[in-house]
Structures are given as structure tokens and as C-alpha cells.
């Protein structure tokens, strides 16, 4: 930004109600222009000006983009990946384990912290940025992996047996001969290396957090802006980070969420990112904690410039999932380099624009309503069980040679269906201690899982829980070794089924259209398991001259619970019906489910102990709904709302009701 604009920018920020900014990340080459030469003037200038204006500051460590002098002095700072060594230019091109990188990263972090630690404007620190392992696979990383394997397995015989390394003469007979994983054809070894790479990220972020913790005040927090799988926008579980493990070293979890807008705005990515981040850390009652949205778009890509009303809708949607802060990337639109056309709140002319003007209304409402909306506590009866290990293993094989589908292509349709039915969701993973506190677990493609996890899930059903599994669950152990039993392995006890064959469907549907979705939607595609029930009831058979004797979807009473198994990929319409049926049978189909997308509702309890209901219209068409709870107040208009009152919702509109 042009320096002479700082006072003007602060004035515009104040007019928009902006009360926090994040600075200093990615500025290593400005903070340390040469090795050991430090200049904090740009940080001081902004810090002091923000403090004078009453705007709080989050300081980011600058380590995700390395300076030229560091790479020139130590070329090995650039990560070696399966494609060779990285070149200088893009961000996040370094090897986060490299000793030269670590030495200089620690020094610049300490220098910044020593300089700013006493500043009263600072409320917290962000370590690094959207950190991942960047597929670092060089000789030094391979050596660290061998040490990791020695610690975990003790002997090569144990590794050879667990991973089936006799195949194609991949057996390792001497630790000195341990090969690079880059060329491995063994999915077990590759999956373990991926787990190791994710651990590098967990350890790296914990290392940075520990450095910052030496300097920070007790009233300041440490966070990280985790990101999601990227499909041109935030999509699903991030393959390169173990979010739940990495979040343990943070005081509060943070997330970056980017999503389509205009006619493609659904709110799903806002909800998914929020639900996942809220679930990263648990509060005293074993439920998810409030979190920070450290980045989301204001204008963003040209196709993301929001329609009138959409910026407000998005902002309150973040709060409805439990966010305690909303930050835009970024304040202005830069005039050069890679993100020139990733536009900020201000356009390239730095003047007010319709998006900025709408942000001013958000700021006024946040200021007025914060005491009612902050620290929203959410309690959900449904959780989605995801697994980084299953993700890696499933992605290795997917649905056979050449198949393009990934784990998130299984998870997202299930999440999307629940969102569209207004079923609140938390996320859990195999390490979660709170699985048993839910009524329903949704389990997409749990391809790799330990015996202990599957037995735990059987107990969950036996003790009254409801589970919905998809195809390819329970298939292999935690080492991606396929179980030598009837599939789906251990969970067949709770599911009451077995199968030994599967195929790619061609012109297959479900017999007699059991979910009444019509011919176009009654399809089986991509994958089908040929299921025989033992104790299970069949919800749907395949309609096919050969495969018609096999079950496609089943449910089984086990103990006092119910296990549903979906053995094929169906249309989204069928999947939605299956999940609706499961939620109803679990006894949690209620008032919120009387609405469905594009009318979205979310709720929680505020810090005064009052229930808050959010209502969103994710469409360009006016709508209305019947308010079915006890009398309250619509906070945005400050108007009274009676039970069974009809509330209009304008296109892309939002209403917030606080019960009396």
C-alpha cells in the first residue's frame, strides 16, 4: 500500500467498523533485507497507527515466503519434491525440516517477538500461513523417515510383514538399504510416509508456537490459518495436514474459507469449514470451541464479486457456525504480482465500492450485536467421522485404474446433503474422545482403519448409536493391508452383511425406485459392491439382469442401535433420502428440518444462555418461513417475533432471532 494513504485507510476501516487487522506475515524479505540486518519500521508504523485508532492487531510470523538472500546462501532451503528441487519465486517452496531454514526462521521470529512483544495493540499471533508439508521428499527427509520407522516398528521384518513388501521384490533387508519413498509402488509404505509428512507439519507448527509462547502475554492467543482441500475454492479435508493434531498447539483454531458466490453461492463451504474448525478443539463439555475466520474473500476472483446482500449473508453465516472473528483477504487490491486479480475489500482505485459499502453495514451490526452473537455454543447430535489415513489410502486406489474420484468426492455429497436438510454436523476423527456423545455417525469411505477403531464403532452401534457407512469402509487395516476376511471386515458384525466381489456398474439402477426419485435420479454409478445380507434388512436391491440378486443398501439392528451400509455410489437425490431416513430413525428430525435449502437455519446458545436462531435465504428469490420457537426478538430489526409468526426473507437475506 502507498504509505501516504495510511491515515485514509484507517479512517475507511473505522467507517466500516473494522476493529482488527493482521499484519507482518510473508514480509520476511522486508523485515530482514539482508542476513542479520533487521528493519521493523513498516511493522511499527502500522502497529502504532492502529493502536492510536483503537484497532487491534494480529501479528503473523513471516516464514512462509523465504527471502532471496537465504536461498542464495543455502540453496538446499528449497524443498526437493518428486518433481525435483523447487525454484525460487513462489511462496511455500521451502523444506520445513531444513536446518538452515529452521535456524533463520527461528531468528527472525525471535527478533520480531522481541521487538513487538510489549505493544498494547497486539491481541494474538498467527504462526506461519496455511502450512503444509509441500511434499518435501529430499534425502534429509528420507533419512528422518527411516529414523521414524525404526522408532515405530523396531525391526525390518515387522515392516516387511505389515506392508507386504515381498511383492515385486520390494522387501527391505538392511536399514542401510531403505529406499526413497518417492518411487514406491507400495501403498502401505506411501501412506506411512504421508502420515510422517503430516507429522512434520504438526511438529513444525508446534515448534513455531513454542517460540512465540516464550514472548507472548497471557492475554494473547496463538492461532494458525488452516486451509482446506482446494478445487478452485475450499472443498474438503486437507490431505497434507492433520488438522486435529496440529491444532493442539494453538490456543484457538483458525481457518481460511474461500467459495463461489453470485448464482453459485450456497453457504456449504462456509458451513463445512466452520464445522471442521469448531471441531478441531473441544471445550470443557467435550463440544467444539469457537474459532477465527482469518481469511475469506471480499471480492476475490472476478467471478466472486458478490451480488448485493451476499457479503452480509456470508458474514452472518460464519457467525452461525461459531466463528468469533471474520477477516477478509485483503484490505485492498494489489497492483502487481501473483494476486493482482484476487481483489480485496477495496478495488485497485482504493475508493469506496458497493462491496465496501456493504461491509460498513456488517461492521455496524457486529458492533451493535456482538454481545448477543459472540461465543455461540453449538450442540449437534450428528458427527462426520473423517480420517486422514483413510483419505490417503482411498486416494491411492480410488475406484480402480484411471479413476479420478478422491476421498473428498465421497465425503462432500454426504456433508452437502446434511447441510441442505439443516442437520447440524460436527467432525470427529479416529483420535476423537467424544465419538460416543453423538447419536449418529456418518462414515464416508473408511478404507483404512485399525481393528480397535472398527470394534469401537461396533460398540457405538451396540450401545444405541446409529452409523451410516459407505462402500469401501473397513476394507483394509491401518497399514492399508486388505483384511483376509469377508468384507467389510470387522464391521460386518454390526452391519449384518458380507461381500467378496465388486464391480463398475453399467446401466444399473435400484430395483423398483425405492426412494421415489424418478428414472433420471435412480442411478448407480462408478462403483458397486455385491452385498449379501446375513441379519440385515435390504433397503434397496440392484436392478440388473445379473446383479439383481445382490443388495445395494442395507440396515441392520445391532444391540440397541442401527447400522446403515451404502454399497454403491448413487445419485445425490438417493443419498439424501438415505441420510434423511437415518436421521429420522435416530429421532433427531425436528423443527429445523421443516426447512431445506435454499432456506438454511443454524442455532446455538449465546453467552447470556439464550438460544439464537439464524435464518438464511441462499437464493435470488424472496421467501418466507414460519418461526416455530418461543417468542423472541429479531436482532437486526429489533422487532418482536411471536411463535408461529411468518417471517419474510429477502433474496440473499438473513434474520437472527434471540429467544426471550
Whole-number mean pLDDT of the chain? Answer: 97
- Give the other-Cβ count within 10 Å of 516's Cβ: 11
CATH number at residue 274: 3.20.20.80
Cell numbers linked to 296: 475469506
- Do 479 and 546 lie in one domain? The reply is yes
* DSSP reduced 3-state for 86: coil
> How wide is the angle at C-alpha 463 spanned by C-alphas 458 and 466, nearest 5°?
70
Lowest mean pLDDT among 113-117, 177-181, 261-265, 283-287: 283-287
Q: Is residue 2's pLDDT more than 80?
A: no
CB–CB of 348/335 below 8 Å? yes
Query: 295 an active-site residue?
Result: yes
Would you state the pLDDT for residue 401? 84
In the chain, how long is the greatest CA-to-CA distance? 77
- Do 443 and 541 lie in one domain? The reply is yes
Q: How far is residue 408's CA from residue 412's CA, in Å, rounded to a whole number?
A: 6
Q: Which of 555, 589, 623 is the last residue of a domain?
A: 589
Residues 524-580: pLDDT tens digits?
999 999 999 999 999 999 999 999 999 999 999 999 999 999 999 999 999 999 999
High-pLDDT (> 90) share of the chain, %? 98
Please tell me which residue in 25, 295, 358, 592 is annotated as part of the active site: 295
CB–CB of 65/108 below 8 Å? no
C-alpha closest to that of 439 among 308, 584, 337: 584
User: DSSP string of 438-477?
Assistant: -SEEEE----B--HHHHHHHHHHHHTT-EEEEETT-S-B-
* CA of residue 56 relative to chain centroid, distance: 27
- Do 284 and 421 lie in one domain? The reply is no
Cell numbers linked to 358: 456493504
Would you state the pLDDT for residue 400? 86
Cell numbers linked to 441: 455417525
Query: Is position 30 within any domain?
Result: no
The range of the structural domain enclosing residue 273 comes to 220-370
High-pLDDT (> 70) share of the chain, %? 100
- Do 364 and 406 lie in one domain? The reply is no
Would you state the pLDDT for residue 284? 86
Query: Is position 48 within any domain?
Result: no
Query: Is position 492 within any domain?
Result: yes
CB–CB of 62/22 below 8 Å? no
Q: Is residue 137's pLDDT more than 80?
A: yes
Helices 407-420, 388-397: inter-axial angle, 10-degree rounding: 120
- Give the other-Cβ count within 10 Å of 519's Cβ: 8
CATH number at residue 459: 3.40.50.880
CATH number at residue 643: 2.60.40.1180
- Do 438 and 292 lie in one domain? The reply is no
Q: How far is residue 170's CA from residue 186's CA, in Å, rounded to a whole number?
A: 8
Residues 484-505: pLDDT tens digits?
999 999 999 999 999 999 999 9
Query: 15 an active-site residue?
Result: no
Mean pLDDT for 386-401 is 95
Secondary structure of 533-557 in HEC code, one letter for each residue: ECCCEEEEEEECCCHHHCEEEEEEE
Q: Is residue 66's pLDDT more than 80?
A: yes
Q: Is residue 3's pLDDT more than 80?
A: no
Backbone angles phi, psi at 579, to 5 degrees: -70, -40
Would you state the pLDDT for residue 286? 87
- Do 577 and 613 lie in one domain? The reply is no
Q: How far is residue 323's CA from residue 316's CA, in Å, rounded to a whole number?
A: 9
Backbone angles phi, psi at 602, to 5 degrees: -140, 155
Residues 183-238: pLDDT tens digits?
999 999 999 999 999 999 999 999 999 999 999 999 999 999 999 999 999 999 99
Residue 440 bridge partners (DSSP): 382, 466
Would you state the pLDDT for residue 402? 85
Q: How far is residue 9's CA from residue 357's CA, in Å, rounded to a whole number?
A: 14
Q: How far is residue 468's CA from residue 443's CA, in Å, rounded to a whole number?
A: 6
Query: Is position 193 within any domain?
Result: no
Would you state the pLDDT for residue 574? 98
Backbone angles phi, psi at 116, to 5 degrees: -105, -10
Q: H or E stretch including 616? A: strand 611-617
Higher pLDDT, residue 191 or 402? 191
Residues 432-465: pLDDT tens digits?
999 999 999 999 999 999 999 999 999 999 999 9
Backbone angles phi, psi at 516, to 5 degrees: 55, 50
Would you state the pLDDT for residue 143? 98
Query: Is position 176 within any domain?
Result: no
Please tell me which residue in 25, 32, 130, 269 is annotated as part of the active site: 130
- Do 343 and 490 lie in one domain? The reply is no
- Do 494 and 529 lie in one domain? The reply is yes
Residues 6+ apart with CB under 8 A from 563: 461, 466, 467, 469, 491, 494, 495, 496, 536, 555, 556
Query: Is position 626 within any domain?
Result: yes
Number of domains in the chain: 3
Query: Is position 401 within any domain?
Result: yes
Amino acid at each position: 500500500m502507498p504509505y501516504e494513504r495510511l491515515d485514509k485507510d484507517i479512517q475507511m476501516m473505522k467507517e466500516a467498523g473494522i476493529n482488527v487487522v493482521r499484519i507482518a506475515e510473508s514480509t520476511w524479505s522486508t523485515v530482514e533485507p539482508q542476513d542479520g540486518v533487521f528493519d521493523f519500521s513498516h511493522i511499527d508504523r502500522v502497529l502504532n497507527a492502529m493502536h492510536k485508532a483503537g484497532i487491534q492487531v494480529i501479528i503473523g510470523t513471516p516464514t512462509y515466503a523465504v527471502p532471496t538472500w537465504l536461498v542464495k546462501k543455502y540453496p538446499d532451503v528449497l524443498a526437493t519434491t518428486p518433481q525435483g528441487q523447487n525454484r525460487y519465486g513462489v511462496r511455500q517452496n521451502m523444506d520445513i525440516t531444513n536446518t538452515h531454514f529452521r535456524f533463520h526462521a527461528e531468528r527472525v521470529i525471535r527478533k520480531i517477538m522481541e521487538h513487538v512483544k510489549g505493544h498494547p495493540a497486539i491481541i494474538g499471533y498467527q504462526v506461519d500461513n496455511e502450512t503444509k508439508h509441500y511434499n518435501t521428499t529430499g534425502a534429509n527427509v528420507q533419512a528422518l523417515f527411516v529414523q521414524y520407522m525404526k522408532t515405530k516398528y523396531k525391526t525390518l521384518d515387522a515392516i516387511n510383514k505389515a506392508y507386504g513388501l515381498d511383492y515385486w521384490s520390494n522387501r527391505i533387508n538392511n536399514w542401510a538399504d531403505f529406499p526413497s519413498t518417492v518411487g514406491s509402488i507400495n501403498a502401505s509404505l506411501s501412506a506411512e510416509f504421508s502420515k510422517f509428512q503430516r507429522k512434520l507439519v504438526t511438529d513444525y507448527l508446534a515448534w513455531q508456537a513454542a517460540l512465540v509462547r516464550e514472548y507472548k502475554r497471557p492475554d494473547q492467543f496463538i492461532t494458525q490459518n488452516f486451509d482446506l482441500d482446494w478445487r478452485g475454492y475450499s472443498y474438503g479435508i486437507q490431505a497434507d495436514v492433520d488438522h486435529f493434531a496440529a491444532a493442539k498447539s494453538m490456543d484457538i483454531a483458525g481457518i481460511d474459507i474461500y467459495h463461489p458466490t453470485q448464482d453459485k453461492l450456497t453457504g456449504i463451504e462456509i458451513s463445512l469449514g466452520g464445522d471442521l474448525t469448531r471441531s478441531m478443539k473441544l471445550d470443557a463439555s467435550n463440544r467444539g470451541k469457537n474459532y477465527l475466520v482469518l481469511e475469506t474473500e471480499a471480492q476475490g476472483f472476478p467471478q466472486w464479486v458478490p451480488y448485493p446482500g451476499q457479503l452480509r449473508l456470508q458474514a452472518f453465516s460464519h457467525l452461525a457456525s461459531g466463528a468469533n472473528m471474520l477477516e477478509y483477504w485483503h484490505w485492498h487490491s494489489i497492483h502487481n504480482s501473483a494476486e493482482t486479480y484476487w481483489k480485496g475489500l477495496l478495488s485497485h482505485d482504493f475508493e469506496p465500492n458497493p462491496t465496501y459499502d456493504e461491509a460498513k453495514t456488517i461492521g455496524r451490526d457486529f458492533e451493535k450485536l456482538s454481545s448477543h452473537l459472540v461465543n455461540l455454543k453449538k450442540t449437534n447430535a450428528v458427527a462426520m467421522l473423517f480420517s486422514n489415513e483413510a483419505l490417503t489410502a482411498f486416494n491411492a486406489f480410488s475406484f480402480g485404474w484411471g479413476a479420478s474420484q478422491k476421498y473428498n468426492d465421497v465425503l462432500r455429497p454426504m456433508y452437502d446433503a446434511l447441510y441442505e436438510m439443516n442437520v447440524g454436523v460436527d467432525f470427529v476423527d479416529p483420535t476423537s474422545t467424544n465419538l460416543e456423545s453423538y447419536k449418529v455417525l456418518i462414515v464416508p469411505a473408511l478404507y483404512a482403519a485399525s481393528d480397535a477403531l472398527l470394534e469401537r464403532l461396533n460398540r457405538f452401534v451396540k450401545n444405541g448409536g446409529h452409523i451410516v457407512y459407505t462402500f469401501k469402509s473397513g476394507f483394509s487395516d491401518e497399514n492399508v493391508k486388505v483384511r483376509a476376511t469377508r468384507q467389510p471386515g470387522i464391521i460386518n458384525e454390526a452391519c449384518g452383511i458380507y461381500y467378496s466381489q465388486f464391480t463398475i456398474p453399467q446401466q444399473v439402477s435400484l430395483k423398483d425406485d425405492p426412494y421415489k426419485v424418478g428414472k433420471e435420479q435412480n442411478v448407480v454409478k462408478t462403483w458397486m459392491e455385491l452385498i449379501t445380507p446375513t441379519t440385515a434388512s435390504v433397503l434397496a436391491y440392484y436392478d440388473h439382469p445379473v446383479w439383481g440378486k445382490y443388495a445395494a443398501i442395507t440396515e441392520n439392528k445391532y444391540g440397541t442401535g442401527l447400522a446403515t451400509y451404502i454399497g454403491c455410489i448413487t445419485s445425490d437425490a438417493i443419498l439424501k433420502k438415505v441420510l434423511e431416513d437415518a436421521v429420522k430413525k435416530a429421532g433427531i428430525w425436528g423443527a429445523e428440518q421443516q426447512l431445506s435449502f435454499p432456506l438454511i437455519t443454524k442455532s446455538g446458545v449465546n453467552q447470556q444462555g439464550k438460544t439464537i436462531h439464524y435464518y438464511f435465504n441462499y437464493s435470488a428469490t424472496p421467501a418466507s418461513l414460519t418461526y416455530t420457537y418461543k417468542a423472541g426478538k429479531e436482532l437486526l430489526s429489533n422487532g418482536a417475533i411471536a411463535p408461529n409468526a411468518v417471517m419474510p426473507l429477502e433474496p440473499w437475506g438473513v434474520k437472527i432471532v434471540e429467544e426471550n
